[in-house]
Amino acid sequence: MDKSTLMYILTAGVAICAGGLCIQYFASTFTEEYREEEIEDRVDKIISK
């Protein structure tokens, strides 16, 4: 294997890891916001009864 192939593999690996972390971060923040809204809706329903 020559240097350029190795660098390509390393760069691709780093990019995949970074992309995975970004997806994980956005997914966690999105689900937290969704849960908060869902909880607020349920509380409103309970209060309005």
Q: Read out DSSP for 1-14?
A: --HHHHHHHHHHHH
**Residue whose C-alpha is closest to residue 25's, from 17, 14, 37:** 17
At 8 the pLDDT is 92
At 32 the pLDDT is 73
At 26 the pLDDT is 82
Using the CB atoms, write b or e for 18-46: b if 16+ within 10 Å: eeeeeeeeeeeeeeeeeeeeeeeeeeeee
- Per-residue pLDDT of 1-49, as tens digits, reads 788 999 999 999 888 888 888 788 888 877 777 777 777 888 888 888 7
